[in-house]
């Protein structure tokens, strides 16, 4: 199951990269990063990537809000 979360998260991040100027691109990036983070939490537990993804989610959220 976690493998599919990783694939889905990666695919969403690719889709988000083509739509980053619009709000939908930031929303897709947040969902993709969340999927990647969940995969890393349940899979191989890479703390540095989990922290990077969490900070990126916060950054995209702030960008989306204001």
For the chain, what are the domain ranges? 2-65
* Cβ neighbours, 10 Å, residue 38: 18
- CB atoms under 10 Å from CB of 23, counted, come to 11
Q: What are phi and psi of 27, to 5 degrees?
A: -65, -45
pLDDT per residue rounded down to tens, the chain (66 residues): 678 988 999 999 999 999 999 999 999 999 999 999 999 888 778 899 999 999 999 999 999 998
Is pTM beyond 0.85? Reply is yes
């Amino acid at each position: 199951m976690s493998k599919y979360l990783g694939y889905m998260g990666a695919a969403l991040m690719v889709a988000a990269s083509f739509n980053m100027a619009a709000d939908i691109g930031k929303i897709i990036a947040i969902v993709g990063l969340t999927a990647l983070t969940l995969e890393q939490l349940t899979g191989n537990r890479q703390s540095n990537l989990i922290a990077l993804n969490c900070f990126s989610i916060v950054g995209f959220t702030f960008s989306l809000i204001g």
